């Protein structure tokens, strides 16, 4: 009887291992097949950011906008073949860093042909961009597969900049499994980068009473130059720090979806905590990034390893 029970447990373990498969994510997925992948990604990212520090925000946004649409499958990189793709969406108009991903992929294909997915390159590049800008460093699980679908209509899954806290909680917590602390921390990714004036027209047109008056006037003057003009999210827009949360405390959040985090009692205490304790912000941002990097993964025959990130094989 005992031998039969042990045999049954062994069978269940074996089935579990098979379900996990060789394509399941792990911390050292490319350890044997492409051991230099992280070094190659880091070197290219660092070189690009030394030339243009603003690309750090672009690479982080690229990862976020990829994962929130059909999961972390590099679908945002695909060029349109019939109709329009994700990158053609107005919601992705401010996404940058495609050329950095292309350079990394070319080097990896020369070193380890057909091995490293574009989705993993995007995830690793975002992590290294955050670290370069002064943010936390964290391990990235790899083994993602690249998707084969990219449609402009799918970008409706991206949270618009006009959402209030209740809406944000619905998108991040109820639908995608983040906790509220992670939601606020991921919003803190806006500590680097800028927003296009088109994204804050609702605040300017309605003279948003939740914005500090002088700040709102400054935004209006800047944005009088046109919708594509950019406004930094905080005063240290190329440094990953907690100044974003201090700006919210001063009613100087750029987007509605930024300032609502301080105006709402559901998230105000978290904003205060991050403004006071940068280490806490970094920790919860790291946790949120790890969780985001595993959204709706494609593994095994659900995806492929693209040879060119811009088109399916």
Q: Is 71 annotated to bind ligand? A: yes
**Of 305, 29, 17, nearest to 145 (Cα)?**
305
How would you write the chain as a 3-class SS string? CHHHHHHHHHHHHHHHHHHHCCCCCECCCCCCCCCCHHHHHHHHHHHHHHHCCCHHHHHHHHHHHHHCCCCCCCHHHCCCCCCCCHHHCHHHCCCCCHHHHHHHHHHHHHHCCCCCCHHHHHHHHHHHHHHHCCCCCCCCCECCCECCCCCHHHHHHCCCCCCCHHHHHHHHHHCCCCCHHHHHHHHHHHHCCEEEHHHHHHHHHCCCCCCCHHHHHHHHHHHCCCCCCEEECCCCCCCCCCHHHHHHHCCCCCCHHHHHHHHCCCCHHHHHHHHHCHHHHHHHHHHHHHHHCCCCCCCHHHCECCCECCECC
Residue 69 assigned as binding residue: yes
Cα(254)–Cα(257) distance, rounded to whole angstroms? Answer: 8
Q: Is 191 annotated as a binding residue?
A: yes
Nearest partner of 69 among 144, 156, 177, judged by Cα: 156
Flag whether 237 is marked binding: no
What residues are paired with 231 via a beta bridge? 195
> Could you give the residue numbers annotated as active site?
65
86 marked as part of a ligand binding site: yes
Q: Residues at the annotated binding site for Ca(2+)?
A: 66, 69, 71, 73, 75, 86, 191, 234, 241
Q: Residues at the annotated binding site for substrate?
A: 159
Q: Residues at the annotated binding site for heme b?
A: 190
Q: Residues at the annotated binding site?
A: 66, 69, 71, 73, 75, 86, 159, 190-191, 234, 241
């Amino acid at each position: 009887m005992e031998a039969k029970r042990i045999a049954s447990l062994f069978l269940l373990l074996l089935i579990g291992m098979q379900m996990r498969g060789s394509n399941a994510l792990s911390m050292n997925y490319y350890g044997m097949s492409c051991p230099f992948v992280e070094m190659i990604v880091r070197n290219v990212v660092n070189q690009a950011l030394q030339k243009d520090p603003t690309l750090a925000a672009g690479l982080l946004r690229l990862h976020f906008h990829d994962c929130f649409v059909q999961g972390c499958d590099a679908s945002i990189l695909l060029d349109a073949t019939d109709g329009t793709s994700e990158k053609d969406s107005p919601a992705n108009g401010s996404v940058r860093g495609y050329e950095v991903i292309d350079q990394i992929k070319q080097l990896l294909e020369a070193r380890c042909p057909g091995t490293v997915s574009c989705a993993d390159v995007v995830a690793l590049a975002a992590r290294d961009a955050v670290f370069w800008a002064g943010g936390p460093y964290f391990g990235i699980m790899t083994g993602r597969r690249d998707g084969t679908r990219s449609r402009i209509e799918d970008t409706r899954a991206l949270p618009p900049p006009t959402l209030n806290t209740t809406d944000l909680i619905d998108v991040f917590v109820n639908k995608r499994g983040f906790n509220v602390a992670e939601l606020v921390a991921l919003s803190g990714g806006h500590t680097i980068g800028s927003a296009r004036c088109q994204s804050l027209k609702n605040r300017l047109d309605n003279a948003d009473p939740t914005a500090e008056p002088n700040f709102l006037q400054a935004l209006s003057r800047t944005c009088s130059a046109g919708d594509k003009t950019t406004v930094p999210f905080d005063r240290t827009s190329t440094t990953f720090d907690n100044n974003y949360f201090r700006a919210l405390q001063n009613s100087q959040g750029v987007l509605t979806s930024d300032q609502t985090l301080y105006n709402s009692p559901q998230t105000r205490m978290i904003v205060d905590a991050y403004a006071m304790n940068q280490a806490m912000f970094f920790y919860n941002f790291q946790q949120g990034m790890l969780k985001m990097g595993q959204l709706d993964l494609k593994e095994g025959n659900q995806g492929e390893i693209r040879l060119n990130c811009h088109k399916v094989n």
